[in-house]
Amino acid sequence: MSEIQKTDTVKKWYVIRAVAGQEKKIKQFIEVEISRIGMNDYVSQILIPTEKVIQIRNGKKVTIERNFYPGYILIEAAIVGEIGHTIKNVPNVIGFLGDKGGNPVPMRQSEVNRILGNVDALTENEIETINPYLIGDAVKVIDGPFNSFSGVIEEINEDKKKLKVMVKIFGRKTPLELNYTQVEKE
């Protein structure tokens, strides 16, 4: 194809359905295959929307990356020639979302903006903490001056990511305000 046709090709966002848990491998495989057939000009980016989450494992804070949409990969591309066929034939790819009669259906711009906005917001927030606790749960303090004290959750403040925990100090119940990351379930 001539250079004029390459630059005039409109790229749109598509959703690839994939086997959950295999997204990173599939992304790499697609990149290799597109490069192998010489169609890099038609694929702008391949995106796996993820968020960073703090979890407590064995008393330690661990930051993990979690898929925002497990089983889905976003791709900005002009689906022309062999590109669609090549992507569909990648191992663990189920197909395109909204595939009608063999033609992938692009996402609406409003959907793209919403998803990319969520990804950008999560990147700016950097870390989103999940609240695995409920009122009445027995917890053990694992961080701070009251390390190794045990107590019961009385209140949960989702906005501040804080817990009000009642612990026995010198035989008296005392309320402590602690971060989610300062306690673990017993």
CATH, domain 138-185, list 3.40.50.300, 2.40.30.10, 2.30.30.30, 3.40.50.920: 2.30.30.30
Say if residue 23's pLDDT is above 60. Answer: yes
Identify the CATH class of 3-129: alpha beta
Rounded Cα gap, residues 18 and 76, in angstroms: 16
| Percent of the chain that is helix, strand, coil (3-state, to 5) | 25, 40, 35
Say if residue 7's pLDDT is above 70. Answer: no
Element at 50 (helix H, strand E): strand 50-57
Cα separations in angstroms, 31 against 25, 38, 62: 10, 11, 30
pLDDT of amino acid 74? 92
Token look-up 């190794």 returns 148
Question: For 78-135, how does the pLDDT look when each residue is reduced to its tens digit (9 = 90+)?
Answer: 988 888 888 889 999 998 988 777 788 888 888 888 877 766 555 555 455 566 788 9
**94 by DSSP, 3-state: which?**
strand
**Confidence tier at 6 by pLDDT (50, 70, 90):** very low
Closest CA to 146 of 134, 129, 128, 163: 163
Token look-up 């597109």 returns 34
Average pLDDT on 54-76 reads 81
Domain boundaries, the chain: 3-129, 138-185
Rounded Cα gap, residues 40 and 83, in angstroms: 10
Say if residue 57's pLDDT is above 60. Answer: yes
Is pTM beyond 0.75? Reply is no
Q: Percent of the chain beyond pLDDT 70? A: 86
Give the Cα-Cα-Cα angle 141, 142, 143 (nearest 5 degrees).
100
Cα separations in angstroms, 124 against 9, 57, 119: 32, 25, 9
